Chain A
Amino acid sequence: MLENDESIDKALSDYMTGRRSKIGMIDPYVSTLEKLEVLRNVPERDSEAQAKGRRAFLQQAKSITVPVSEVSKTRHKRWNIFQRKERSPMSTLASVLLALIVAFGGVGSTAYAAQASLPTDPLYPVKQLTEDVRLALTTDPENEVNLLLTLAEERVNEMMALADKGLQIPEETPLRLEHHLQLALSETAQLGDPAFMGALQRLRNMAQVRVQAMQQLQQKAPAEACQGLEYAIRAMNRAQNEAEDGLADPMNFRLRHGKNRPEDAPQQPENVPPKKKSTSPPPADEGSSGQGFGDGTGAGGGAYGNGYGDGTGDGGGAYGDGYGDGSCEGGGAYGNGNGDGTPCECPNRPPDGDP
């Protein structure tokens, strides 16, 4: 045995230095050693974290002569870093993935196989992880919008496949669809004009076709699947409306969805309401109007002459030439008109801002 230990050690050293003098000894282990190679490369280290660590170490050295109690305090603090209070949102997913590896006994072509999985399949988290990586890798905004729309279509396909099989659609799937659509709208607002129009047209057309398909399926789908389909249809309809509004009024769309708003855009309140609009005609001239910004978070209304207004309390929001919203009991106004800044007297009003 000792002799074998020596021989294997020598053969391994030769193997590691690229020499293969003891081919016979190391051969049985070559494929094992090759499998270990996946751990060879370590991802590039964050140079800032490295420099910070060095500075902290040298700083600690300067305080090393302080009383023991001080040292103990410092140690306690550092060690607590291991008990991360904030867990990565992906931690649960990571656990699931590793459980899958255990369950399947290996990885083989797990990630590839996962691409055809449905939300009820055990491999579905791997598919989601792949999509997250793909999104993280896509830095070009136009490509990102295209990818998000592709992912939205994939969610619809998954839901339709589940409904077709008579299976219940997990709640998370239409929510993920909605998330893709919201991100797509937000990213579209960053695009230059030609790409902007193209993206909105694609979104609108995709939504039209998919909503129609889902509605047809809904006629024959079992009750278990209907709720998910219904939610997805509503999300798609909202996105379609947003796209149509954006095609008609790009500037307003950019104001509502954009991250980098134009320099001359009016200041937006912190409590920007959900992106919704009243389908009713603009209310009568009851609220304040004119130049300037107003935000009503209490009983009154918000009014804005040529910009944005918001009323999140009992009153309404108003927007002179754009968007207005009253997300509580007040009324919302949209379009060219004045807002409604009067306290609401109609508690059973439908939720979408209809006066």
Chain B
Amino acid sequence: MPQPEDNWLDGARRLDEEALAAIYDAFNMAIFCYAYRLLGDREVAEEIVAETFYRLLRSIGAGGGPNEHLKAYLYRVAHNLIVDHFRRHPLIELNLDWENVPIQDLSEDPVQEVEHSLEQAKVRRVLWKLTPDQRQVVVLKYFEGLSNHEVSQILDKPVGAVKSLQHRALNALRRMLTPAEA
């Protein structure tokens, strides 16, 4: 069954503004959340979004780009950019900046909010200890809500492999996050 993405892709290949705008509107927030959850920096997440969509345009302009599975393509590009950024800014420099504490959502207890930020940083750090495929499966499935089929498209692996990665990732996370129970 043809998906809206297919129509958008047809339009995007003609550089049709309406189709490109629809693509941007449909996926920019998801890419932002994906980048933010892994890197914890709003500014960098915005840059990842901008670069991801720019790369889509560049590929289309060069006669390439995805023929199908636009969403998977965008997540793949974003993932590569996130990993590139992470390599340039090793784990110890992952951001824990008070500017990234979501001020507008803060309760009345800043100590609690700082505690929350520290916990986020810890979980983020644990995620980066997973293998790249395991990390993608956890984040894409558990946080982004993608199906096994969609994740398999992004990873370019069979659905069975995705399930296996997921199981191993959960075991690894359990060992690292709740060592007493594991």
Residues of A within 8 A of B (CB): 1-2, 4-6, 8-9, 12, 16, 28-29, 31-33, 35-36, 38-46, 49-50, 53-54, 56-58, 60-62, 64-65, 68, 71, 74-75, 78-79, 81-83, 88, 90-91, 94-95, 97-99, 101-102, 106-107, 109-112, 115, 126, 129-130, 132-134, 136-137
Contact A45–B142 (Cβ < 8 Å): no
Contact B46–A49 (Cβ < 8 Å): yes
Contact A111–B177 (Cβ < 8 Å): no
Q: A45-B29, A64-B15 are in contact. Are A129 and B53 (CB under 8 A)?
A: no
Q: Is there a chain A Cβ closer than 8 Å to B69's Cβ?
A: no
| Bound-complex Cα distance A107 to B58 (A) | 43
Q: A1-B164, A39-B143, A134-B110 are in contact. Are A61 and B115 (CB under 8 A)?
A: no
Residues of B within 8 A of A (CB): 15, 17, 20-21, 24-25, 28-29, 32-33, 36-37, 42, 44, 46-47, 49-51, 53-54, 57-58, 60-62, 84-85, 88, 91-106, 110-116, 118-125, 127, 138, 141-143, 145, 148, 160, 163-164, 166-167, 170, 173-174, 177-178, 181
Q: What residues of chain B lie closer than 8 Å to A98, measured between beta carbons? A: 91-94, 96, 121, 125
Interface centre among A39, A49, A64, A106 (most CB of B within 10 A): A39
A-B contact pairs, 21 of them (CB 8 A): A1-B164, A2-B164, A5-B166, A8-B163, A31-B181, A32-B170, A35-B119, A39-B124, A42-B36, A46-B42, A49-B46, A50-B32, A64-B58, A64-B60, A65-B61, A75-B54, A78-B54, A97-B96, A101-B122, A101-B125, A102-B92
Q: Is the interface of B mostly helix, strand, loop or mixed?
A: helix
| Bound-complex Cα distance A334 to B102 (A) | 46
Q: What residues of chain A lie closer than 8 Å to B92, measured between beta carbons? A: 95, 98-99, 102
Contact B122–A107 (Cβ < 8 Å): yes
Q: Is the interface of A mostly helix, strand, loop or mixed?
A: helix
Contact B44–A82 (Cβ < 8 Å): yes
Q: A8-B166, A9-B163, A90-B99 are in contact. Are A33 and B142 (CB under 8 A)?
A: yes
Interface centre among A1, A43, A78 (most CB of B within 10 A): A43
Partner among A6, A57, A111 whose Cβ is within 8 Å of the Cβ of B163: A6
CB distance from A310 to the nearest CB of B (A): 35
Closest Cβ neighbor of A35 among chain B residues? B177
Contact A53–B46 (Cβ < 8 Å): yes
Closest Cβ neighbor of B166 among chain A residues? A9
Contact B104–A112 (Cβ < 8 Å): no
User: Which 9 residue pairs spanning A and B have beta carbons closest together?
Assistant: A43-B102, A64-B61, A107-B118, A5-B163, A111-B115, A133-B110, A134-B110, A111-B114, A94-B96
Contact B148–A129 (Cβ < 8 Å): no
Q: What residues of chain A lie closer than 8 Å to B101, measured between beta carbons? A: 133
Q: What residues of chain A lie closer than 8 Å to B36, measured between beta carbons? A: 42-43
CB distance from B102 to the nearest CB of A (A): 4
| Given A8-B167, A28-B174, A81-B47, 8 other A-B residues pairs in contact with their CB atoms under 8 A | A12-B170, A32-B170, A42-B37, A57-B53, A82-B84, A83-B88, A109-B115, A112-B115
Q: What residues of chain B lie closer than 8 Å to A78, measured between beta carbons? A: 47, 50-51, 54
Closest Cβ neighbor of B51 among chain A residues? A78
Q: What residues of chain B lie closer than 8 Å to A129, measured between beta carbons? A: 96, 98, 114
| Bound-complex Cα distance A163 to B103 (A) | 36
Partner among B24, B32, B96, B145 whose Cβ is within 8 Å of the Cβ of A57: B24
